[in-house]
Amino acid sequence: MKNQYFLFFLLFPFFFFSQKNTFEDFHIRKSMNHQVIKVDSLKNERLIKKESIFDFMAKDEIFEMTLEANFDSLLFHKKKSVEYIPGNIYFRNKDLEIVDLKVEIKPRGKYRRKVCQFPPLRLKFKKKGLKKMGLSRKHNSLKLVSHCLDNKKEAKRNILKEYLIYKIYNLHSPYSLRAQLVKINYVQSGSGKKMFERIGILLEDDYELARRTDSKIVEKKYCAQDSIDTYNGTVHALFQCMIGNADWSTRYMRNVKLLRPEPNSLLCTFPYDFDFSGLVSAKYAIPNPDYKLKSTRQRVFLGKMYSDEEMKEVASHFINQKKATLRLVKEFNLLNRRCRKDVIKYLKSFYEILEDEENMATELTKLCPKK
């Protein structure tokens, strides 16, 4: 017995020391686990993308804001100006507090700068202001499709129809720009005088679209048809035919840009600027003389005619989206009833071609430019 007690007291320090280390290891592991959780949570927070300024403004309703700048100078130099001028954008946040963001603006586009009383603009938001709002500073540049014409009624109708085209294309392709309707109070800086109030369209940054679709923007001046994904390219070309737009070209990169979804993959297209389309029917639009068109309402198919199987696959996609497309138009109450009926009638005349399986290829071939 004494030997047992002796052995116990002899081994006790080692036992205690071992237990102490076990407890300490437990607390260390617990602490390390806690640190890992914190690091992981921070990592997850970083993975969650911050809202962009476009995300912030993207609403079901019209986003209202005030744009203040030296418009006298901008309009005087609109045909030549390539420099940004300073400005401010004001709007109310969800707490109804007035937010003031500094921006730089400049006219953009080519033809519209020549013919429009008020040109389309590019808005470049100062990153400091975006950071203060907790927004991403990465995609700080937006395109503004302006009202173009002084005729308020006609300008509004054109803008609403062009906006509708962007929304319809969202139904047909993931590679499509998001659009947001905005009501803008234009104010002359210095005097603070309100010039006018008009609606316009804000378009998301091209690189934001690339991020959303996990793609890369590809800059090209010319693009061969064989470089473009067959399905995507045909969906795009048929869509342009559907809305009666001949003011685009992948070969010469007019009103079209390119994305590469995967390394070494074929390219995907995304279009913009639809004011020359038959669906919009803007008075300043002219039929494309390259295709001997007599009216902007006249359709032309500028895509490539592939095999019957490939063409029917794309046609099936459009037919499957017909109900959603027509419903989008019917429910777009910002356009008056007469305009909506005209748009629906115009779209239905296109669906008639696709729904006639026997003659579809022949009818589309007829719409191809004559060589």
Rounded distance between C-alpha atoms, residue 174 and residue 168, angstroms: 11
Rounded distance between C-alpha atoms, residue 202 and residue 182, angstroms: 7
Rounded distance between C-alpha atoms, residue 1 and residue 4, angstroms: 5
Rounded distance between C-alpha atoms, residue 318 and residue 324, angstroms: 10
Q: For the chain, what are the domain ranges? A: 53-206, 214-367
**What is this structure's pTM?**
0.86
Predicted confidence at residue 371, as pLDDT, reads 63
- The answer to whether the beta carbons of residues 318 and 242 sit under 8 Å apart is yes
CB atoms within 10 A of CB 265: 12
List the structure tokens of 249: 């070209």
Helix (H, G, I), strand (E, B) or coil at 135: coil
Closest C-alpha to 162, from 180, 175, 142, 150: 180
Rounded distance between C-alpha atoms, residue 184 and residue 180, angstroms: 12
Rounded distance between C-alpha atoms, residue 327 and residue 321, angstroms: 10
Residues 6+ apart with CB under 8 A from 237: 301, 302, 303, 304
The parts of the chain modelled with pLDDT lower than 50 are 1-47
Per-residue pLDDT of 10-58, as tens digits, reads: 444 444 444 444 333 433 333 333 333 333 433 344 345 789 999 999 9
Rounded distance between C-alpha atoms, residue 304 and residue 296, angstroms: 21
Strand order in the sheet with 268-271: 216-218, 256-260, 268-271
Q: HSE of 47 in the Cβ direction (CA atoms, 13 Å)? A: 6
Pick the CATH number of 214-367 from 3.40.50, 1.10.1070, 2.40.10, 1.10.3470: 1.10.1070
- Please report, as a single letter, which amino acid is at residue 311: M
Q: Report the length, in residues, of the chain.
A: 371
